[in-house]
Amino acid sequence: MLACPAEDIDDAVQRADRAAASVANPAGYDFQAQWLGDRIVNPEHVRRNYGRLASLSAGDAAHSAPVTPSGRQLVLPRLVTGYLKEQREWRRSCREWNAYDQAVAKWRRKRSSRIAEPVAPLVPDIRDKRPKALRAFLLGDPGAGKSTTLRSAVHELNELLVADEADWTDVVKLSAPTGCASFHMAHGATTIHRLFAIRVGQVGDDPLPAESRQFAALCERLGPELGLLIFDEFSMIQRRMMRWVVKRLEEAGINLDDIGVVLVGDPAQILPIGDSPVWSLRQRMDDGKDCCEASRLGMLAFREVFRMPALETVDGFAAWSHAASREPNTLNDDERRAVARFRAAALDGDYETVYLNEVRRTVQNDELADHFTKVIIPSFRYGRATHASLQWLRDNTATAEHMAADPLWAGAVTLHGNHWFSELAVNRATVESDNARALVRFANERDTPVMAVNAQHLPTKKAARLQKVSPREFRSIPAVFFACSGLPLMLLENVAPSVGLFNGAHVEFVGPLYLEDDWQVTLSSCEYRERVRTNGVTLSAPLDTPASDRERMYQVPVGSVIVKVNGHTVDGDEHRLDELVAASSTVQLVFHTPKHPPHLPEFIVVRVPNYTENRGPNILGIEDADDLVPIRMVKRARDKGKKQSGDRRR
């Protein structure tokens, strides 16, 4: 958290940005031609394939190599395959016997010698033996084999469903709270937000409109064949998120009693941001305020899904509830014992738990790494660190001198930054200012020019003020984007997690991509007179585009040339432009926009490690670009200080 006036840090950032800007966009340098050369990119091909990028899957269980689990790792695969087999037999029985009953009823109504009596199904009638919905946790220490166990379970599920002639991706849904986690989960896994049509930061209880595309896509993803949900890294799932998962399942018509739910992860690892984890019982935040209603309802939803008792019925609830608002050292012995009983029983429920506690991860021929993984980490993890553990760390942890002398660390870069302000160090660097300085150093070391492109600010009349607003107010979107060839970048959103383009992925900047086509905007003649400012036939002020034209950009930049009006060429003639505009009540303008910095490109192109290995397609459609991916620069965010839905965007 920043604990300083915004202008203090902003001044430091702006000073660093000015240093970068002083060497940016050298005259005569073509940043696009430098990487693209004489290759020609088809604009429609790029836009079409980029639009399909988010729906790509890196493959499914049929392409995964079988693993060899052992010991407790065998339990979960047996649980899920056994449950799914029983569930599918029950569903088949319901489907065939219900159809038979309907056929018999119809035959009896229209009894005739020409209609044969229906034949009973061959499958047994087990409609009254609904299998109990599977609820299971796969827990384990780091390196104990949770991922191995999950891969084994997915492989066996795939074999079961292929033998049953079913599409396993319709029956089993794999999901995780982040794009990075879903990428490593593989097998077509997706984020929880995408699977359940949940907006990032969603608030409120409004369901998806029944006629919306989001609702249709939700029902397609969560169809009637759905039989099992598996969530990985569940330690990062918020209570509010669980509430939305349950609501979306209800909206899609899914009965939770008819599907299995499995949570995989380690509660002692990374926790969610902004809310308590799903299993948390806390009812008050650290500041003493009650948890929000959505968080409390999410906790109740989680407990209901995993068939846990109502908290009020758990022994010791009254003492625990009363103690939550008091300091621990003010409880008497009886109250402490009651609270202990409550905590021991609060998470009891009707579910299965598989706990992997044998650390199997190892590093060949490295006794130190083996000891660190199997002994030191568990000792600290469970609060059993000893003096010997601390001394071992002192003896075996590398110092700066060790790293400087070790060639393995020669190319290492230390990433650091201070997010806070100190009156003792007013000019201390922050993450933002460090990034700007690091960019200049990087460019100088490699003797490569720096590119700077300006963000668009809407509305135009507020642009001068919005240009000065910190990126923190615009979801990290800077007013000026600096980069140079080869610069390491980190994605800040999920573009296509299944092929490695997830929030937090490291990529390498290649260059801008200005697509060589013109841009069409339709205005009324009145809007044209009020909003279009030209010097001859060239825009002298940015033009905010109508909402219907904002798929590509939100603003026609200064320097754009009007080449057509209502289908007629202007030929650079200002008088002809005025005549064509005056001749119609609706003005359809075609602009030729600038194709160079500092004007905003439609895409930047980055090099993505292992993109082709993850079966990512060639989006650009040109030779020698298999690992090059365009990332759309047209992103928007509203100024946090303003709540009006249409105002103040970057």
Mean pLDDT within 515-527: 85
DSSP H helical segments within 37-143, as ranges? 43-53, 75-109
In the 8-state DSSP scheme, what is residue 257? G
Q: What is the pLDDT of residues 550-607, one digit of tens each?
A: 555 678 888 999 999 999 999 888 899 988 988 888 889 999 988 899 998 989 999 9
Q: What share of the chain has pLDDT > 70, as a percent?
A: 85
pTM for the whole structure: 0.78
Query: Cα separation of 560 and 74, whole Å?
Result: 64
Query: Cα separation of 639 and 637, whole Å?
Result: 7
Secondary structure of residue 604 in the 3-state scheme? strand
Mean pLDDT within 330-345: 85
Residue 83, pLDDT above cutoff 90:
yes
Contact 30, 596 (CB under 8 A): yes
Query: Cα separation of 642 and 650, whole Å?
Result: 13
Instruction: List, as one string, the DSSP characters of 401-419.
Output: HHHHH-GGGTT--------
- pLDDT, residue 352, reads 94
CA 108 to chain centre: 56
Residue 510, pLDDT above cutoff 90:
yes
Least confident range from 242-246, 318-322, 443-447: namely: 318-322
Mean pLDDT for all residues in the chain: 83
Q: Which residue has the higher pLDDT, 330 or 607?
A: 607
- pLDDT, residue 350, reads 93
DSSP H helical segments within 198-316, as ranges? 213-221, 239-251, 293-305
- pLDDT, residue 3, reads 29
Query: Cα separation of 295 and 439, whole Å?
Result: 41
- Residues with Cβ within 8 Å of residue 106, at least 6 apart in sequence: none
Query: Cα separation of 263 and 5, whole Å?
Result: 42
Residue 374, pLDDT above cutoff 70:
yes
Q: What is the pLDDT of residues 265-317, one digit of tens each?
A: 998 888 888 788 999 888 777 666 778 888 889 999 999 999 999 988 999 88
- pLDDT, residue 645, reads 43
* Residue 521: φ, ψ to 5°: -135, 135
Q: What share of the chain has pLDDT > 90, as a percent?
A: 27
243 pLDDT tier (thresholds 50, 70, 90): very high
Taking CA 42 as the corner, what is the angle to CA 40 and CA 43, rounded to the nearest 5 degrees? 125
Residue 612, pLDDT above cutoff 80:
yes
Contact 284, 261 (CB under 8 A): no
Query: Cα separation of 340 and 328, whole Å?
Result: 12
Residue 636, pLDDT above cutoff 80:
no
In 218-374, the DSSP E strands lie at 228-231, 260-265, 352-356
Q: What is the pLDDT of residues 14-27, one digit of tens each?
A: 555 555 556 688 98
Q: Which residue has the higher pLDDT, 437 or 221?
A: 221
Is domain 71-87+115-308+347-352 given the CATH code 3.30.70 in the classification?
no
Query: Cα separation of 207 and 510, whole Å?
Result: 42
Name the residue type at position 440.
V
Span 519-592 CATH architecture? Roll (2.30)
Residue 426, pLDDT above cutoff 70:
no
- pLDDT, residue 9, reads 40
Q: What is the pLDDT of residues 491-503, one digit of tens each?
A: 888 888 888 888 8
Residue 256, pLDDT above cutoff 70:
yes
User: Nearest to residue 325, comparing CAs of 356, 294, 358, 284?
Assistant: 284
- pLDDT, residue 7, reads 39
Instruction: List, as one string, the DSSP characters of 578-595.
Output: HHHHHT-SEEEEEEE---
Q: What is the pLDDT of residues 464-501, one digit of tens each?
A: 888 877 777 777 778 888 999 999 998 888 888 888 88
Q: Where are the domains of the chain?
A: 71-87+115-308+347-352, 367-409, 519-592
One-letter-per-residue 3-state SS of 607-648: ECCCCCCCCCCCCCCCCCCCCEEEEECCCCCECCCCCCCCCC
Query: Cα separation of 372 and 365, whole Å?
Result: 13
416 pLDDT tier (thresholds 50, 70, 90): low
User: Nearest to residue 490, comparing CAs of 480, 620, 500, 471?
Assistant: 500
Residue 640, pLDDT above cutoff 70:
no
378 pLDDT tier (thresholds 50, 70, 90): confident
Query: Cα separation of 405 and 403, whole Å?
Result: 5
Q: To which residue do tokens 């205005």 refer?
A: 523
Query: Cα separation of 591 and 598, whole Å?
Result: 18
In the 8-state DSSP scheme, what is residue 94? H
Q: What is the pLDDT of residues 160-192, one digit of tens each?
A: 988 888 888 889 999 999 888 888 888 888 899
Mean pLDDT within 24-37: 90
